[in-house]
Amino acid sequence: MKKIILFFSVCSFFTINAATNTTVLYGNEAAKKVPNSEVVRFKEFTTVPNYVKFRKGNELPLVKLESWLTSFYTSDANYGIKLLKKETDKLGFTHYRYQQTVNNVPVELSTIIAHVKNGLIESVNGEFFSDVNNPVNPSLSETGALAKALQSIGATQYKWEIPTQENLLKWELDDANATYYPKGDLVLINTNGDIKKELILAYKFNIYAEKPLSRREIYVNATTGAIVWEQNKIHEIDALGTATTLYSGTKPITCDNQGGGNFRLQETGRGNGIRTFTSGNTTGYPNTNITNTSATWVMTEAGLDAHWGAEMTYDYYLNQHGRNSIDNSGFQLDSWVHYDNNYGNAFWDGTRMTYGDGSGNSTPFTAIDITGHEITHGLTENTANLVYSAESGALNESFSDIFGISIDFINRPGIADWLLGDDLGFIIRNMENPNSQGDPDTYFGTNWASLSGGDNGGVHTNSGVQNFWFVLLVDGGVGTNDNGDAYTVNSLGLTVAGQVAFRNLTVYLTSASEYADSRFFSIQAAVDLFGGCTTQVQEVTNAWYAVGVGPIYSPVTISDFDAPVLSSCSAPFTANFNNLSVNGISFNWDFGDGNTSTLTTPSNTYNSYGTFTVELITNGGPTCGIDTTTKIAYITIDSNLACISILPTNGTASTQTACAGTIYDSGGSSGQYGANEDAQITISPAGASTVDLTFISFAVEPGTSGSCNYDYVKIYDGPTTASPLIDTYCDNNVPTTVSSTVGSITIVFHSDVGVEDNGFQVNWQCQLPNQVPTVNFVADVVTTCTGVVNFTDISNNGPTSWVWDFGDGNGSTQQNPSHTYTSNGLFTVQLTATNGIGNGNLIKNNYISVNMPTAPTINGDAVCVNNFANLSANGVGTLNWYNVAIGGSIINTGNTYVTPVLSTTTSYYVEDVITSPLQNLGKPNNSGAGANYNNNQHLIFDVFQPMEIISVVVYSGAAGNRTIELRNSGGVVLQTTTVNLPNGTSTVPLNFNVSPGTNYQLGVSASSIINMFRNSAGAAYPYSISGLASITGNSAGATSYYYFFYDWKVKEPDCVSARSTVTAIVNALPNVVASNDTIICSGDAANLSATGASTYMWDNGLGAGQNQTPSPIVNTTYTVTGTDVNLCVNTDVVNVAVSICTTIDELAGTPQVTSFMNDNTIVLGLTNLEKGSYSVMLLNSLGQVVVNKQIIISLYQQTELINLPTMAKGMYYIKLYNEVDNYLIKMVR
């Protein structure tokens, strides 16, 4: 009789994990929560997703991450992100790790990681908080908080109080400023460090105590002074020890030292911790610890096996696959042993591992292969989440067997085998020979269990197929399967086989995956890791063939390519090639025009007309071989062809200048357009008078209520989106033929998230003029105080050249020039436009009025070096100061400016700003019927002259973030601002600068909540300021509706003068040089002098004058202060040394010391000197030592010779001295 022992695992399509309170959504369910996503994971403490994987083609640009995150916040806090680090892995992903901030205060336990390729986020995960409402201004000082922290620690001595420790730290860090003295950083931290609890504003201190020894991070409530949390930085809590296990001998483990000789099976070093408890042979889960009196565990205890097994399983996934526990976020691994009585099983229930003691409570199910098996069920639940039935359930069980046995092989290489459970005295499964235990080794072969039968469709039985696949992949094998297929599989080893299986499970497989999926994606995993046509791909494929899943490996290289556009009406033309090759490693392209490439997916620019043959040689390496594809006359560039252009997914396509052609949406001639596209193209044929558009096909998602507010095409009568809007089109308003009134026409396409359709094909045809141009032009302003005027040609009949005369002696040949007038006055402007028929002319007399403010009058300053200067200016408006002549930031406002301390002559610049008055635009308030509204609508307005929208009034139905957007007529966002709105009425500063144009949009970002007041009656369009701006309507097209933004405050640009240059002249200090230091005899005069200035003043009672002759009686330092003609001063010093020279040459009538020169030798005669050792020093008049020697006087009369070096003529001094006597004698050479 076969003994069946089952392992249980609790699985679901949507993971709801009680331990971590997480929810994982896939596919459409994910997209409902997070647009453009295919996988989303949430934790209960925040509405910010814990994990998002974006759909291919809908990845989030990295630059939009911060704004994307704002859509999940539920409070009005000023959220931000701070980049902590970025890392790039071997597969080309760059992982950006960010910390959350609130009002620039870091949130301590927050992290979000963006996984990026080519600037696009393919997935993102981490923990950010969504509802932060704590104050960000402390009421407790840092000093006060430190006192609270130190009181909490209560040490008697700290590291920073010990000079040797401080010096050691400076040496270790090579930083003279390093110190242990704690600095308080303001952070937001969860109470007790529990991420699910309230965030508190706190000071964070790192405090290192000497007596008693500790190092802790202390978080002090910045309002109350209470200790919010503390974290031990000296990890003595976890003790390294050994355990005598039941099944694996003595093994190292990490346990928890609670102090007092009390150790328990808990640790915090791995992920969020590993804990092992005992159920005490009950069916409950008490938090009863397994304890010991030391870190050396010598006892009969199943918990030791479970604890060590959990540690080794964590280490396997971290060290072999770089995964931080089963959820890659440090999932805490909890185990309960001694479950129930006589319970012969082990299981994972979605939260924890549970182990019974077996029959008679004598065979605990805690062997390492079983421990690894059960924890891997948790890994599967957190990745593929394979449904626990039929084929997907068999895969679920198989992956647990694969990694359980792999963990056993790595940690017990001399004991491990392919038998699961043999440590318990019986065999649960035999991976190497599944048939021996009644399990299949071939897909649908012998022992295959019914997929609709017991054991959830044979999950424990049919797992044998993938188990045997893995054994063959590790060890290799030769044989014939149940289908009669002979196979040979070469060994890849445990490491490579594990990498393939792990990537298959964690990257590709989904909850309903079957054996065919596992084969396909394990091959893809091998391609990811090792490349196509590699040995690894071959053996993975052949191992599946050996177990009856799929055909044998057939190495092949297929070369193929295409290009979305194969012809052009003009050169240069860039062709973009798609590489469709299979199993290619390297590529060689020949584009037929002399250009080549080795890129995988290249582009080539053809610079001449003609027909070009393209060839691709695909090299799959020695295994896959080489294949060549040649496409004859593949690319054609001919001026007789119709021009074809495909819109980009975002951005502006090249302007089309041919007279005829075809335009497709981004999907080209056969594909669909994508989501979130904003593209435009202008058709401007040279010399055309008008352009006709004919839509051949059109399928664009319709909007609500007959509108086009989802996806749409807008067409403008002219070269830009500032040209008049002809109409907006979608399936609610299908275009047929559209014509411009001028020689250019502009097409704008927009799509939102959601439905994408087949798009459109539109042909264009230009009409050439049959008469001279009808000339006309406009200027963005006709009265200016800045002098800057932008002119726009609006002539008809297709002019091809232009000649402008601006009336100030300057002109231009551009079609739409910008000109800066440099003087005030009235100016007549003339435009001559020419086409192939002739030319036309228009003169607008006194058209431009320039009235620029006069530049400020200024007063500079002259100062000495290392002083500040006082600068001033006068004007009629506000004076702004800059440190650059053009651009830059304001450094001061007002009539005066005190510079920083200056070391060189420096110029500053000041301009006079005459502020334009505020004007009111729009509905003044929300009077009339209406209510708070949540759909995305906007106001539409025109601007006739440059202006700034200073602020608007809104009426908010709920507090929260709103992102307000200024968009052009095509819906492209030009400027944004995110504001925290309280409930009620608010004035919102915008400061949006708007150029002249039509159909601007003022609305709320699609990622923002709205919940603001909208009038449903009482609107009266247009709301206008003559010559400046007009609010003409709204996106809903309802004339009685008014959306969100009331009482606009707007103004024209301020009048700004030219900048005046204000110079702070910095004069150098005089180079005051005093005479050299000197030595004199007491009573003699010293000759002192100074140079380098205009006047001099000496201290020590000498007074004014360039030369001084003091007679000091003691050594004296004299300071001379020199002042130059710029009243700049400097100083120098001279030292006068005084020696006592009496009794040198005679004593009681008898000479004691005499000297005379004999060639280059001084002869000293010494009489009646005290006997002993003397120093003899010869000094020049500058006090410099020429000779220094020692002599011994032992006679009443004695002669000493001093041999001299080459010496200049002059005064010298001979100094003879010892500890008692000091003699000085002058000598002239």
Quick one: 1148 and 1121 in the same domain? no
Q: pTM for this one?
A: 0.42
For residue range 242-297, list pLDDT tens digits in order. 667 788 888 888 888 887 778 999 998 899 999 999 999 987 778 899 999 888 88
Q: Which of 331-340, 690-699, 927-936 shows the lowest mean pLDDT across its residues? A: 927-936
Quick one: 587 and 525 in the same domain? no
pLDDT band at 623 (very low <50, low <70, confident <90, very high): confident
Does residue 1110 come out as left (phi exceeding 0), alpha (psi in the -120 to 50 range) or beta?
Answer: beta
Higher pLDDT, 669 or 882: 882
CA distance 294 to 282: 27
pLDDT band at 549 (very low <50, low <70, confident <90, very high): very high
515 in any annotated domain: yes
Q: Find the radius of gyration of the CA atoms of the chain.
A: 44
The residue annotated as part of the active site, out of 460, 750, 819, 938, is 460
Question: Which tokens hold the place of 524?
Answer: 């893809």
Quick one: 359 and 492 in the same domain? yes
Question: Which tokens hold the place of 776?
Answer: 């006309």
Question: Which residue among 715, 748, 767 closes a domain?
Answer: 767
Residue that has been written with the tokens 């709320």 in this structure:
1004
Quick one: 1041 and 1166 in the same domain? no
For residue range 400-427, list pLDDT tens digits in order. 999 999 999 999 998 999 999 899 888 9
Q: Sign of the CA dihedral 432, 435, 440, 442? A: positive
Quick one: 927 and 976 in the same domain? yes
Annotated catalytic residue 321 = no
Quick one: 494 and 610 in the same domain? no
Which of 380, 70, 27, 349 lies closest to 1006, judged by CA?
Answer: 70
Provide the 10 A C-beta neighbour count for residue 301.
23
CA distance 221 to 499: 47
CA distance 129 to 47: 8
279 in any annotated domain: no
Question: 255 with 294: CB under 8 angstroms?
Answer: no
Q: How far apart are the first and last CA of the chain?
A: 128
Query: What pLDDT was estimated at residue 135?
Result: 65
Q: Sign of the CA dihedral 42, 46, 51, 53? A: positive
Which of 418, 458, 419, 465 lies closest to 442, judged by CA?
Answer: 465
- The C-alpha torsion from 137 through 143 and 146 to 147, rounded to 10°, is -120
CA distance 522 to 506: 11
Higher pLDDT, 54 or 1105: 1105
Question: Which residue among 175, 207, 232 closes a domain?
Answer: 232
Query: What pLDDT was estimated at residue 12?
Result: 26
| Mean pLDDT score, 116-133 | 81
Higher pLDDT, 521 or 589: 589
Question: Which tokens hold the place of 705?
Answer: 């209520």
For residue range 183-227, list pLDDT tens digits in order. 999 999 888 777 778 889 999 998 888 787 676 789 999 999 999
**Mind spelling out the 3-state secondary structure of 408-464?**
HHHHCCCCCCCEECHHHCCCCEECCCHHHHCCCCCCCCCCCCCCCCHHHHHHHHHCH
DSSP line for 39-75: EEEEETT-SS-SEEEEPTT-PEEGGGHHHHHHTT--S
Quick one: 1218 and 1084 in the same domain? no
256 in any annotated domain: no
755 in any annotated domain: yes
Q: How many CA atoms lie within 13 A of 396 on its CB side?
A: 33
Instruction: Tell how far CA 350 is from the center of its chain.
Output: 35
Helix H or strand E encompassing 1225: strand 1222-1228
Quick one: 489 and 622 in the same domain? no
799 in any annotated domain: no
156 in any annotated domain: yes
The residues pairing with 1138 across neighbouring beta strands, listed in sequence order, are 1080
**Mind spelling out the 3-state secondary structure of 828-870?**
EEEEEEECCCCEEEEEEEEEEEECCCCCCEEECEEEECCECCE
CB contact set of 1188 (below 8 Å; sequence gap of 6+): 1175, 1176, 1177, 1178
Question: Which residue among 767, 785, 805 closes a domain?
Answer: 767
Question: Which tokens hold the place of 922?
Answer: 């729009």
Annotated catalytic residue 701 = no
Quick one: 111 and 172 in the same domain? no
Residue that has been written with the tokens 């927050």 in this structure:
110
CATH code of the domain covering residue 109:
3.10.450
For residue range 799-857, list pLDDT tens digits in order. 889 999 999 999 999 999 999 898 899 999 999 999 989 999 999 999 999 988 899 99
CA distance 646 to 635: 16
Higher pLDDT, 647 or 1223: 647
DSSP line for 296-350: EE-S--HHHHHHHHHHHHHHHHHHHH---STTSS---EEEEEEESSS---EEE-S
For residue range 151-170, list pLDDT tens digits in order. 988 889 998 998 977 886 68
The amino acid at 572 = P
CATH code of the domain covering residue 1220:
2.60.40.3080
Phi and psi, residue 320, nearest 5°:
-85, -30
Residue that has been written with the tokens 């939260």 in this structure:
351
Residue ranges making up the domain that contains 700: 646-767
Query: What pLDDT was estimated at residue 961?
Result: 93
Which one-letter DSSP state was computed for residue 103?
Answer: T
787 in any annotated domain: no
Quick one: 148 and 205 in the same domain? yes
Query: What pLDDT was estimated at residue 17?
Result: 32
Q: Which residues of 21-60 are buried (b: 16+ CB within 10 A; e: fewer)?
A: ebbbbbeebbbeebbbbbbbbbbebbbbbbbbbbbeebbb
CB contact set of 330 (below 8 Å; sequence gap of 6+): 271, 272, 324
Mean pLDDT, all residues of the chain? 86
Question: Which tokens hold the place of 912?
Answer: 């006079």
CB contact set of 207 (below 8 Å; sequence gap of 6+): 149, 150, 153, 158, 182, 214, 215, 216, 217, 218
When divided into structural domains, the chain yields a total of 9
Above 50 in pLDDT, residue 1009?
yes
Above 80 in pLDDT, residue 5?
no
Quick one: 1119 and 1164 in the same domain? no
CATH code of the domain covering residue 588:
2.60.40.10
> Hey, which of 294-308, 500-514, 554-568, 1030-1044 has the most confident mean pLDDT?
294-308
DSSP line for 1016-1032: SS---S-EEETTTEEEE
**In the sheet that 1161-1167 helps form, which strands lie side by side, from edge to edge?**
1153-1158, 1161-1167, 1197-1203
CA distance 78 to 676: 27
**Mind spelling out the 3-state secondary structure of 1140-1186?**
CCCCCCCECCECCEEEEEECCEEEEEEECCCCEEEEEEEEECCCCEE
Collapse the DSSP code of 95 into the 3-class scheme (helix H, G, I; strand E, B; otherwise coil) and give the result.
Answer: strand
Question: 603 with 574: CB under 8 angstroms?
Answer: yes
DSSP line for 804-818: EE-SSS-EE-SSS-E
Question: 926 with 955: CB under 8 angstroms?
Answer: yes
Query: What pLDDT was estimated at residue 32?
Result: 66
476 in any annotated domain: yes
Phi and psi, residue 164, nearest 5°:
-65, -35
CB contact set of 970 (below 8 Å; sequence gap of 6+): 678, 680, 714, 721, 748, 750
The residue annotated as part of the active site, out of 59, 311, 374, 397, is 374
Quick one: 952 and 1047 in the same domain? yes
Above 90 in pLDDT, residue 941?
yes
| Mean pLDDT score, 42-54 | 81
